[in-house]
Chain A
Amino acid sequence: MDRRKFLKLAGLSVTLAGGVPGFLNREVKARAYTPPPGALTARRWGMAIDVKKCWEEPNCNECIKACHHLHNVPDIPDKKREVKWIWKDEFEHVFPDKPNEFNNIIFTHKPFLLLCNHCEHPPCVRVCPTQATFKREDGIVMMDYHRCIGCRFCMAACPFGARSFNWVDPRPYIKDPNPKFPTRMKGVVEKCLFCYERLEKGKMPACVEACKKKALIFGDLEDEHSEIVQVLKSRFSIRRKSELGTGPSVFYLL
């Protein structure tokens, strides 16, 4: 065996011994995460919005204010460029798949709350080329703002218009920054994250806590005994565009 052959063989052996099994055994799943003691946990977080309770205070925007302040959501005056995590719109825009001229009259000027649906089969997660948006084991559709390349494929894929892109630097538009939550930079996509950072500390999402009428019910959709499951079992509810099969986790109690 000459020197050249020996080196070739040695190189191949090292690759097979170390490289290949290492590659095959590579951890593909995100490392298991243990929530800190006292954290609120669930198998699938969901929200039920009691629309009638919400209408009792038609001009109340406490949930939106609380969320947007806490999460440093910029207040951009240009509607076409705005960033929003939770907002209000009318029936015909929220449920365009259920057009009915009479419903449109019944629901005139009756606001419906909109936020990310944290879908069971999120199309945004499916299309993201970098896994910057991903679904956690508890059903929350998360964002990694440091990984997002800003391709906006997720915005094209989301049938709910739940995602906002930072067309410009958002920081000048944050009036009263909250130092406890990161701000975003230009060129990344953002949306509601079901207050994962509050759940970790044993607190309910900011919008749920801020609602004076207790119209927002947040809980585990896979826990038989949770309040949300009890309510959904006893009252009629609808979801946005459920025919698309994304499995929204936000329910509207009517």
Chain B
Amino acid sequence: MKKYTYTEKKDTRSGFGAGLAELGRTNPNVVALCADLIGSLKMDKFIEENPNRFFQIGIAEANMIGIAAGLTIGGKIPFTGTFANFSTGRVYDQIRQSVAYSDKNVKICASHAGLTLGEDGATHQILEDIGLMKMLPGMTVINTCDYNQTEAATIAIAEFEGPVYLRFGRPVVPIYMPKHTETEHENKFVIGKAIQLTEGADVTIVATGHLVWEALQASEQLEELGISAEVLNMHTIKPLDAAAVLESVAKTGCIVTAEEHNFMGGLGESISGVLAKNNPIPQEFVAVNDSFGESGTPAQLMEKYGLNDKAIVAAVQKVIKRK
């Protein structure tokens, strides 16, 4: 089985900041907006290099979404930046009417998603945002797994015409995906195309965001237990790469989905829909079980809420018995 290693850890939000900075240099239509969280979103470099193309909105997220929609009229490509909670739940109707229904080319970039926001607690740990965003017709939903993939996705969505929700996070995590400059790499980032990280025969593990690394760790532990796992990095939740899922489960016959999100409304639920219509096979969910989070360190929270490699191994053992 292919092994993934890393030499460096960084936060995915810094990948967003690097991608945005590069867009500042390469695409004059890209503009950025922030609701008083420049440092948290790592937008400093873009702002330093393009002060005229940055809009500090203040703590007024609804206004930020509306202004972003307006900026597209005139040819700009606005990237909004704030925490995932304030990027979605707080401004759902603004996104629904002024962005999605109006088909505006706004890129909603959301950091600090999920439990790994940590000590701030449940008020800030949104676990429903993927569901909220994927329900909107025409919205593309992306949840990246590491620094390189977040940088690559940030650059890719500027080229893509249409509203996008880009979800990333706060903690430092291993870097194991290719740089966006490695365009010939087999694991390069393409919107809507799953990346097969390992090949396996016994179970398919489809993970998104921070859970992709956990899935890779789980697959190595499973190999020691004599279980061959195929890991898919499902960075794009909508449009979902259903073909990649169906192709994999045709071999393995069972699936575990893993995400830092409520099981309702998340990646796992989207995949259930695909399976129900095409190939109903056993599925287990590694996700938050319809609850809010709480304060704690990211590692403590991922352990308590069952969102790590151990939880994935347990889910695999369970799902294989259901075959």
A binds B: no
